[in-house]
Amino acid sequence: MRKNILIILLTLQSLVTFSQNKYLSDFNYFWETIQMEYAYFDVKQTNWQKVKEVYSKRLNSIKEDWEFTYLIELMKHELYDAHFTLNKNLAFSFRLIPNDVDAFVSIKNNKYYIKDIRQNYTITNFNLKIGDEIVKMNGVNFADIVQLNLPKSIESPDHKVKEYFANLIFAGRHDKPRKIKVLRNGKFIILKLPKPNLKKYNSTLLDYKLLPENIGYIRINNSLGNNNVIKQFPKIVDSLQNSKAIIIDLRNTANGGNTDVAKSIMGKFVKEEMPYQIHERVGLEREFGIKRKYIELLSPLKNPYTKPVYVLVSRWTGSVGEAIAQGFSNMNNVTVVGTTMAKLLGAIKCKQLQNSGIRFCYPFEKLYNVNGLPREYFKPDFTTNSYKETYLKALELIDEQTR
């Protein structure tokens, strides 16, 4: 009997040891990969060494895979980088930003305000207004929730850090409601917000039409990662060749995409090869002292459109959408109109943790405009205050500039 009990105890001990070794191996690989290859430590307040010290202490108490997933998620948030993603989340995880956030929150004088609202989302039916101060969420002071979720490795978080977490919190957790209390014109208003959702799902990759005054309009429906756009977009431009101007609407491209699709869009508006963007592989220099920096070129497609083009951007123009807007800004016949964009950092690379199966994608290259300006600092030619205002401003500019 005693022998059987001893065997059971030894078996359980070996299982616990194996489990802890499994998590330790993945933990170290994750931390070391980011330490070596993450491209933006120089602009972050994060102390990555302290991240290791803080979170490694939790490893011994982890028994379940979900607990380890949560640990990696917390480590990821230490970098307050919306372009850093995991392929796994939990019921209580925050939604992704900017993908799943339906309003943009900004900070001013340590108070949090609605800066912009995502049009075509159900939130527009719920009386939320630009300029509203967010006072509480689910009965708790909003500023206190932000403070509770701030990184452990940062001693004095700046506005960029706080704004990242404010938007995460406003987007909400998957399993929680969004009941907020706002202050508007001296009055408190309580709003029960829906989960971030489109008013109407659009299955088409691209929408296009001819507006009054012979203006072509092409809207990209968050489809920059779908290679079918490569064939569809040039055909649509060809069908609008007789228009006096074309609007290209990138305001809803938060999910990013790929460079092949980007070039199929921009390539219809150039006559000859031109520089597109600059890449810098930071990790290579960090490890070996070798700088790898190169200029990517854009090649023309047949039958280019040469009349005025107006590119619309928003805070939900992300990653490849930002690269397209930046590339367009270098063309003489193109005007970029809109708010600041999502400011997603660099080009991403993905790896997988061997034991837990968590796939993580992180910025490993810095990206710049051909004039040397980091992509995240790009500003439109004409700046607007909101998603909704941008379209109207473009029509106004077309009227002024194409008379």
Distances (CA, A) of 314 to 89, 117, 339, 388: 27, 10, 5, 9
Which structural domain range is residue 68 located in? 13-86
Number of structural domains (the chain) is 3
Between CA 45 and CA 22 the distance in angstroms is 30
Averaged over successive runs of 10 residues, the pLDDT of the chain (403 residues) comes to 53 50 96 97 98 96 96 98 96 96 96 97 96 98 98 97 98 96 98 93 92 97 96 98 98 95 97 96 87 95 97 98 97 97 97 97 97 97 97 96 80
User: Tell me, what's the pLDDT at 12?
Assistant: 45
CATH number, position 397: 3.90.226.10
Are the C-beta atoms of 208 and 216 separated by less than 8 Å? Answer: yes
Regarding whether 111 and 63 lie in a shared domain, the answer is: no
Regarding whether 383 and 272 lie in a shared domain, the answer is: yes
User: Tell me, what's the pLDDT at 291?
Assistant: 86
Regarding whether 336 and 230 lie in a shared domain, the answer is: yes
Regarding whether 271 and 292 lie in a shared domain, the answer is: yes
User: Tell me, what's the pLDDT at 402?
Assistant: 79
Regarding whether 368 and 279 lie in a shared domain, the answer is: yes
Regarding whether 227 and 125 lie in a shared domain, the answer is: no
Q: Of the candidates 248, 393, 233, 381, which has an alpha carbon nearest to the alpha carbon of residue 307?
A: 248
CATH number, position 168: 2.30.42.10
- The answer to whether position 96 is within a domain reads no
Structural domain ending residue among the three candidates 161, 193, 225: 193
Regarding whether 244 and 386 lie in a shared domain, the answer is: yes
- The answer to whether position 261 is within a domain reads yes
Q: Of the candidates 163, 98, 170, which has an alpha carbon nearest to the alpha carbon of residue 314?
A: 98
Are the C-beta atoms of 123 and 201 separated by less than 8 Å? Answer: no
Give the H/E segment covering residue 279: strand 274-281
User: Tell me, what's the pLDDT at 322?
Assistant: 98
Between CA 115 and CA 159 the distance in angstroms is 14
Regarding whether 396 and 357 lie in a shared domain, the answer is: yes
Structural domain ending residue among the three candidates 141, 172, 193: 193
Regarding whether 120 and 26 lie in a shared domain, the answer is: no
The position carrying tokens 């070039």 is 263
Regarding whether 211 and 160 lie in a shared domain, the answer is: no
Structural domain ending residue among the three candidates 140, 167, 193: 193
- The answer to whether position 91 is within a domain reads no
Regarding whether 310 and 177 lie in a shared domain, the answer is: no
Regarding whether 304 and 345 lie in a shared domain, the answer is: yes
- The answer to whether position 218 is within a domain reads yes
User: Tell me, what's the pLDDT at 285?
Assistant: 86
